[in-house]
């Protein structure tokens, strides 16, 4: 694998943040940004001169701990609403067998394939209770 260096930013690194838990998951070396990547970063308010953002979240990109958990579990994440998917901070790792048993198709397959399910505050409360804090694996 080769990387085309950016004339100003060299290997142009970003810290990859785990899509699931939000912890650091490694380093991404962007080098010289492709035109579409550069435009996407600019649209999100990052540097105009081709510098990669300090951190990036790659959809579905997991740290080693979450990769291991995803073998047998999926992550349920509480978000403010269906329209505003800002995470509230509460989440729970749920066994894949529970999803298979409790949730009908095609929703179950969608959750199992993605490894994650967003629940709005009301749905979260119905499933896990309003007072439930983050449920560890």
Which residues of this protein are in contact with Zn ion, per CB under 5 A?
18, 20-21, 63, 66
Q: Point out which residues pair with 129 in neighbouring strands.
A: none
Q: Nearest distance from residue 108's CB to Zn ion, in Å?
A: 23
**Is the link from the previous residue into 134 a cis peptide, with omega within 30 of 0?**
no
The secondary structure of 112-136 as a DSSP string is HHHSEEEEEHHHHHHHH-TT---B-
Q: Nearest distance from residue 132's CB to Zn ion, in Å?
A: 20
Q: End-to-end CA distance of the chain, in Å? A: 36
Closer of 33 and 75 to Zn ion (Cβ): 75
Q: Nearest distance from residue 77's CB to Zn ion, in Å?
A: 12
Closer of 77 and 119 to Zn ion (Cβ): 77
On whether the CB atoms of residues 30 and 13 are closer than 8 A, the answer is yes
Q: Nearest distance from residue 7's CB to Zn ion, in Å?
A: 34
Give the residue from 2, 19, 1, 4 showing the smallest Cα distance to 50.
4
SS3 64: helix
Closer of 66 and 117 to Zn ion (Cβ): 66
Q: Nearest distance from residue 115's CB to Zn ion, in Å?
A: 11
Closer of 51 and 67 to Zn ion (Cβ): 67
> CB 53: neighbour CB atoms within 10 A?
15
Closer of 93 and 124 to Zn ion (Cβ): 93
């Amino acid at each position: 694998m080769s990387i085309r260096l950016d004339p100003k930013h060299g290997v142009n690194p970003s810290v990859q943040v785990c899509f699931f838990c939000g912890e650091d998951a490694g380093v991404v070396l962007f080098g010289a940004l492709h035109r579409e990547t550069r435009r996407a970063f600019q649209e999100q308010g990052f540097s105009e001169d081709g510098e990669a953002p300090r951190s990036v979240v790659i959809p579905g990109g997991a740290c080693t701990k979450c990769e291991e958990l995803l073998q047998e579990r999926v992550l349920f994440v509480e978000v403010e609403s269906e329209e505003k998917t800002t995470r509230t901070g509460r989440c729970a790792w749920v066994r894949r067998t529970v999803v298979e048993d409790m949730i009908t198709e095609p929703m179950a397959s969608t959750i199992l394939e993605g490894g994650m399910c967003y629940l709005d505050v009301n749905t979260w409360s119905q499933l896990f209770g309003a007072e439930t804090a983050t449920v560890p694996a």
